[in-house]
Amino acid sequence: MRADTDVLALIGTDQWMMAVLEAVRGLDLPDCWVGAGFVRRKIWDHLHGYTRATPLDDIDVLYFQPDDPSVAAEQRIEALLHAAMPGQPWSAKNQARMHLRNGDQPYRGTGDAMRYWLETPTCVAVRMDKSGVLELIAPYGLDDLVNMIVRPTPAGQRRDEAYRARLESKNWLQNWPRTQVIWP
């Protein structure tokens, strides 16, 4: 597995993932993607030969809407997603406000916001366009994801304590023992 077409093909064969992407597409949110563990888990499970999906903490729905950066808007989106697909761990985050939480300059879009995430294999997201075609966004590329390497992004290097705390809390090596973690 090397190319984005391989990653997209793998996602495209997963009925549950496609249903999630269709539900999100139905909301027509600006600059909207589903990312992080949603994609990473699928790829790492596949590369480990797992036939059952490992547990997913949440479904990260990322969008960019500067004119309404409220938490209430995110909660309304989550409620709509729960109505579309009940029982799923939805988490909608407007990337137009996330710079405040992270102490960064304002982000210019969802892809720009992802550059400030802490580890490279998480910086990947997928969406379904209006015609049903899947698209990927991966500001740091897909090499670390498909090679199961966890390394800090530049933000993760600057915020090394947060990077370390995140790695310790995620238990990735227990779930995917062939993963290689690079510590700062």
In the prediction, which pLDDT does 2 show?
59
Q: Is residue 110 part of a domain?
A: yes
Q: How far is CA 10 from the centre of its chain?
A: 16
Query: Domain with 139 in it: what CATH number?
Result: 3.30.460
Q: Is residue 180 part of a domain?
A: no
Q: Is residue 92 part of a domain?
A: yes
Domain span at residue 116 reads 4-147
In the prediction, which pLDDT does 17 show?
98
Q: Is residue 158 part of a domain?
A: no
Q: Which residues of the chain have pLDDT under 70?
A: 1-2
* Three-state secondary structure call for residue 136: strand
Number of domain units in the chain: 1
| Residue whose tokens read 């949603």 | 38
Q: How far is CA 177 from the centre of its chain?
A: 21
Q: Is residue 165 part of a domain?
A: no
Write the CB contacts of 54 (distance below 8 Å, at least 6 apart in sequence): 41, 44, 45, 175, 176
Q: Is residue 84 part of a domain?
A: yes
Q: Is residue 166 part of a domain?
A: no
Q: Is residue 24 part of a domain?
A: yes
In the prediction, which pLDDT does 183 show?
87
The whole-model pTM stands at 0.94
